[in-house]
Structures are given as structure tokens and as C-alpha cells.
Structure 1
Amino acid sequence: MSCEHDHCGSGGCGGCDGCGGTLQMTQAEIDLLLDFAQTPFLPVARRADSEAPIYLESDRYTVEEYEKIITALYQKRLIRLDYDLPLANFNYAAYKVYPHRGSMALTATGQHVVELLEIQGIPEA
């Protein structure tokens, strides 16, 4: 998938593999991005002693798998994690053992990737 941004040629975007703006993504990453297309803000939490994101809203993947998926999307700069910005009117009861509760959302680049996925589909590598 081509991300079509000028910064990709410099190799500094974190989301490209340095071969002409191609963004490599797993099916799990694509699945979560498409969830963001349906619900623009999702809850996220973390432990006091860890930066690892915790997402409990779906059982499609395990908590550990979601940690890797969310971290990968964050490192690719496709989502933003805001542990100090909780969702209004969201019941965080499932997250009560985690002291840091917040939200995650698509970045502008993430929104662009979702639009490309919806328009162009997913080319196989």
C-alpha cells in the first residue's frame, strides 16, 4: 500500500519500510484500522509500570495480540494514544484495574490509509 506522503522518501515517517512509500501491515492491523473507520475513538488503558496499551473491547484477538497491534499502528503513526484523554460517557468498568485510562484515534495519516483501504482495497504482497 502506498501512503503517498512526501515524508516517506526520507525514511523518517516510521510507517514506511523505505522502499518507495510502501506501508506493510498485518491483517490484524488492517482489522483494527477498519474498526476505527466505524468508531473513530476507542478506549485504551495501561498499567502504571508499563507503556503497553490495553484494549478490552473485542475478543477477536487476545489482550497480548492487541498490545502488539496497537503498538505497531502507533509506531507507524496511524493512531494516536491519549492516556490522559478518556472518552466521555464511556463505562471504563472493565478497565478499573488500570490507573491510566484514555482513548485512541486515527491520525490524519491513519485516516488517509483507511480511505485508501476503502477505495483501493488491499493489495497482496
Structure 2
Amino acid sequence: MGCGHDCGSCGGCGGGALELTEREVELLGRFAQIPFLPVARRWDSETPVYLEEETDFSGAIVGLQLKRLIRVDYDLPLVNFDYAAYGAYPCRGSMALTERGQAAVELLEIQGAAPAGPEP
């Protein structure tokens, strides 16, 4: 049974469950610590790259975008961020939680499911 909205995926607009992979939950945990994260890609590829961790989060970034939990914007690079590690990826931008993503993070924190961010 759908939510009554023509959104294409129940669980997407507030009614129903939202399924997250372990990597998606982990990346949401990063967003709980830092509101804006760097992202990049090659000009000839749509695959997003986040190099601040040793884990490959490309699939998680795409999954969170499709679930409308994060926004990836290649037109808004982070100010005062050193993109030197992203030298092979000339299309550089930022990603951030959407309002829906913020609500998901808060729910994960309340339920104790969000992993802690990287150790300081």
C-alpha cells in the first residue's frame, strides 16, 4: 500500500520504512559530525568520489541521493577546503544533508543506530 503521494517510492516521503545499507548509515554518521563534505568526479563519469576515508562510499552517495537524503552539488565546492587529494577528479563540489536526510540522521541517533564519526 502506497503513501497516497505520486512519489514513486513509498517510504520516501514520510510514510513507511526507509531501508539503508551499512555504508549509507556510516556516511550519514559522517554528516551528523560535519554538515558539508567534499565530493568529486571525473568529467566523463557520473560516479561520485569521497576520498576523506579509506572506504569506498560511491555507492552510498548514489543511494543517499536517490533516497533524497543528501544533495550533491558539483557547482558548489567547499570554501577553504584543500582538494589536492582530488587531483584526478576535476569536477569538484560538495554534498550535504537534505531536510529529509537531517530527519533520518536524528531518527538514527535517537534509535542509537548511527555510528560514531571518525575519532578526533
**What TM-score range do you get, normalising by the shorter chain?**
0.7 to 0.9
Distance 2:62 2:77 in 1: 19
Aligned to 1:113: 104
Q: Which residue, 8, 18, 43 being the options, matches 2:38?
A: 43
> Structure 2: how far apart are the matches of 1:74 and 1:106?
9
Deviation >2 Å, runs of 4+ = 13-18
Q: What whole-Å deviation, never above 9, does each CA across 1:34-74 have from its counterpart, x for those lacking one?
A: 11000000000011011110110001x23xxx111100000
5+ long unaligned stretches in structure 1? 1-7
Instruction: Provide the residue aligned with 1:102 in structure 2.
Output: 93
| Whole-angstrom distance in 1 between the partners of 2:98 and 2:52 | 20
Selected match of 2:59 from 60, 68, 71: 68
User: Alignment identity in percent?
Assistant: 57
Q: 5+ residue gaps in structure 2?
A: 114-120
- Name the TM-score, length of structure 1 as normaliser: 0.80
Query: Structure 1 residues 119, 13: closer, same or farther in 2, change over 3 A?
Result: farther
Residues paired across the two proteins, number: 110
Which structure has greater helix proportion?
1
Partners of 1:84 and 1:93 in 2: CA distance: 18
